[in-house]
A and B are shown apart, each in its own frame.
Chain A
Amino acid sequence: EAGVAQSPRYKIIEKRQSVAFWCNPISGHATLYWYQQILGQGPKLLIQFQNNGVVDDSQLPKDRFSAERLKGVDSTLKIQPAKLEDSAVYLCASSFSGTNTEAFFGQGTRLTVV
């Protein structure tokens, strides 16, 4: 089966610029997650969608981060304006709904803020 697709793979921007990441989950997966993985750390959940609704965005820095999943399929994560500490890999994952489901990860977008 096709995996979770993310683009771009790499992005370098200057601080205070804006950036957007795109994710296409596995077909049929209603749940979509965005994780931030800082170098040397485990992934940290930023936001979780169930179809096109937000389940949890408690760890999303809402003053600069936003995410949407308008049609319940693809999702975009935006940072505006970016800070140096936003440098990380942004991982998208998806899963079927339900309690016994595996989360499948995309390859991630490596963001470097200079």
Chain B
Amino acid sequence: GENVEQHPSTLSVQEGDSAVIKCTYSDSASNYFPWYKQELGKRPQLIIDIRSNVGEKKDQRIAVTLNKTAKHFSLHITETQPEDSAVYFCAASPPGSARQLTFGSGTQLTVLP
């Protein structure tokens, strides 16, 4: 089955700096890669996703890049703000209608004011 590795496990940045979180996946058939943000005690919420036919996607301060050959994808947050502090999870999903997500272990991002 799919295996997703995520690093770093913790990341602290100064407000206004950029943050980068990286994930690798094992199943070359995976074609959907979402990123979820989970604040303490709250539900995971989708912040951005990318499909394997696209190399990069951007939404305001958040961008995701995908390298299918190397089987890795990354989340980039620019101009970080204190409210970006949360745990971020990457995930990978195989093709087909069964969107079974395999999650990474999470990155605790802390934005220092």
Q: Could you tell me which A residues sit within 8 Å of B by CB distance?
A: 3-4, 31, 33, 40-45, 48, 50, 55-56, 91, 95, 97-108
B43 CB contact (under 8 Å) in A45, A97, A100, A108: A108
Q: What 3 pairs between A and B have smallest CB-CB spacing?
A: A42-B103, A105-B43, A105-B44
Q: Most chain-A Cβ atoms within 10 A of its Cβ — which of B6, B102, B103, B105?
A: B103
Chain B residues close to A by CB (< 8 Å): 4, 6, 32, 34, 36, 42-46, 49, 51, 89, 91, 95-106
Complex: how many Å from CA A49 to CA B99?
11
Complex Cα–Cα for A31 and B43 (A): 18
B33 to chain A, nearest CB (A): 13
Query: A97 — which chain B residues lie within 8 A by C-beta?
Result: 97
Q: Are B43 and A95 in touch, CB under 8 angstroms?
A: no
In the assembled complex, the Cα of A40 lies from the Cα of B95 at a distance in Å of 28
From residue A78, how far is it (CB to closest CB) to chain B in Å? Answer: 21
B95 touches A45 (CB 8 A): no
CB-CB under 8 A from B51, the residues of chain A are 100
Separation of A31 and B49 alpha carbons in the complex (Å):
19
A48–B100 touching, CB < 8 Å: yes
**Which among A33, A56, A91, A103 has the highest number of chain B CB atoms within 10 Å?**
A103
Asked whether, in the complex, the Cβ of B45 is within 8 Å of the Cβ of A105, the reply is yes
Shortest Cβ distance from A42 into chain B, in angstroms? Answer: 3
A50: B residues at CB distance < 8 A:
97-98
Per the bound structure, the CA–CA distance linking A64 and B49 in Å amounts to 35
Write out the residue numbers on chain A whose beta carbons fall within 8 Å of the beta carbon of B106: 40-42
CA distance A43 to B43 in the complex (A): 11
